[in-house]
Amino acid sequence: MEGRELLSKLSDSFGISGNEHNLHNILSEYFKKYTDEIKIGKLGDFTAIKRGTSNGKYKIMVQAHADEIGLIVKDIDERGFVHFTRVAGVDPKTLPAQEVIIHGKREVYGVIGAKPPHVLSAEDMKKAISMDDMVIDAGMTKEEISELVTVGDFITIKINCTKLLGDYITGKALDDRAGICSLFECAKYLQKMRHSADVYFVSSTNEETGFGGVIPPTYEINPDIAIAIDVTFGDKYASDNITSECGKGIEITVGPNIHPELSDRLRAIADENNIPYFLDVAPGHTGTDAWNIQTVREGIPTLLVSIPVKYMHTSTEVLNYKDVEKAGKLLAHFISWFEDWRDVYDA
């Protein structure tokens, strides 16, 4: 249950790109039980280190990004309405009528309003609503709200992580705080497993903005192997191109961003331990931190494991927590398998 509690706390927390430091206390509370050392990077990245038996000779980095998409204040008009724009991949269609929190001098609650359908022309009704036509109404005058909110303040959707039936969970920012929880599950599994390499559990920054926040901790750690954990599309009904499905396993990626021998071994370990998985073919950019990790320093052999999530980049993402546990189990067995580089090519 620890992992599910962690996911709920992380999902409910404010951590839009550039604000990942808000998660540090929660991460420390959970990871310190199962690791030996914690480090905080200058950009807000968080690393928990679990020592192996090789006396630091080998290092494996497992990584997930902490940042979430969101909104940012760009203006306050004469009526006290807050105008905003998006940080990273927010879909404007999902915003009208949402409750929000403006993270100003204190938390300010509001709702996103738009023109009601009664006053729209037939032509306007056919168009997708623009973010320029939306405002946040906090029920204040310009003078009142200006004392609490300023241009550049961040805005999150006001919603709580909620348990659905069975092992399903819904909430915001499951992309990629589910990945962080898989790192936590891995750390728990490793308590009962021998591992040669030191393991670096990295919660990184600024993935959603594409700014490469994973690069500084990767450069500092300089791991022998890195495994990025992110989410993938888990709603098969949405597109014929989606092959993964929530509750039925994780996704392992193959392609030029992925080390071929390590990928073969990862899949073999999944088969040996009855961990179901889907295979994702990425012929180019994987759209994840694995892309940035691969070319740090002299190059880092990289893998990518993904957790299926439905309704990605909305405030009601859905996953099956069993998939998070499966990802953590696979990571732990892979880390336990690795002794030294001879294992990679002799396997």
Predicted confidence (pLDDT) at residue 216 exceeds the cutoff of 70: yes
- Give me the CATH number covering residue 146: 2.40.30.40
Binding residues, as ranges, are 65, 175, 208, 230, 313
Banded pLDDT at 344 (limits 50, 70, 90): low
Banded pLDDT at 124 (limits 50, 70, 90): confident
Q: Are 53 and 195 in contact (CB under 8 A)?
A: yes
Q: So what's the pLDDT on residue 161?
A: 98
Predicted confidence (pLDDT) at residue 341 exceeds the cutoff of 90: no
* Mean pLDDT value across the chain: 95
3-state secondary structure of 59: strand
- Give me the CATH number covering residue 313: 3.40.630.10
Beta bridge partners of 85: 72
- The answer to whether residue 87 is domain-embedded is yes
Query: Known catalytic residues?
Result: 207
Instruction: Give the Cα separation of 71 and 95 in Å (integer).
Output: 10
Q: So what's the pLDDT on residue 346?
A: 58
- The answer to whether residue 164 is domain-embedded is no
Q: Which whole number is the average pLDDT over 2-11?
A: 98
Binding residues for Zn(2+), as ranges, are 65, 175, 208, 230, 313
Same domain, 85 and 47: no
Predicted confidence (pLDDT) at residue 289 exceeds the cutoff of 70: yes
Q: What is the pTM of this model?
A: 0.95
Q: Are 262 and 270 in contact (CB under 8 A)?
A: no
Same domain, 152 and 31: no
Same domain, 118 and 250: no
Predicted confidence (pLDDT) at residue 239 exceeds the cutoff of 80: no
Same domain, 93 and 135: yes
162 token code pair: 């909620």
Predicted confidence (pLDDT) at residue 108 exceeds the cutoff of 80: yes
Q: So what's the pLDDT on residue 313?
A: 95
- The answer to whether residue 165 is domain-embedded is no
CA 262 to mean position of chain CA atoms: 23
Banded pLDDT at 121 (limits 50, 70, 90): confident
Choice between 170 and 133, residue whose per-residue pLDDT is larger: 170
Q: What is the Cα gyration radius of the chain? A: 21
Same domain, 230 and 326: yes
3-state secondary structure of 52: coil
Please write the tens of the pLDDT for every residue from 240-261: 677 799 999 999 999 999 999 9
Distances (CA, A) of 148 to 20, 85, 99, 143, 276: 22, 19, 18, 9, 50
Q: Are 253 and 290 in contact (CB under 8 A)?
A: yes
Predicted confidence (pLDDT) at residue 202 exceeds the cutoff of 80: yes
Domain carrying residue 99:
70-157
Q: Of 228, 193, 229, which is closest to residue 333 (Cα–Cα)?
A: 193
Same domain, 225 and 337: yes
3-state secondary structure of 21: helix
Instruction: Give the Cα separation of 307 and 288 in Å (integer).
Output: 13
Pairing mode, if any, of strands 277-281 and 198-204? Answer: unpaired
Instruction: Give the Cα separation of 21 and 225 in Å (integer).
Output: 26
Banded pLDDT at 238 (limits 50, 70, 90): low
Q: Which whole number is the average pLDDT over 18-38?
A: 98
Burial degree of 3 (CB within 10 A; 0-12, 13-18, 19+): buried
* Peptide bond just before 167 cis, omega within 30 deg: no
Pairing mode, if any, of strands 225-233 and 302-309? Answer: parallel
Predicted confidence (pLDDT) at residue 90 exceeds the cutoff of 80: yes
Same domain, 311 and 190: yes
Report CA dihedral (110, 111, 112, 115) to the nearest 10 degrees.
-120
Q: Which whole number is the average pLDDT over 23-37?
A: 98
pLDDT cut 70: percent of the chain above it: 96
Q: Which whole number is the average pLDDT over 144-168?
A: 98
Predicted confidence (pLDDT) at residue 347 exceeds the cutoff of 60: no
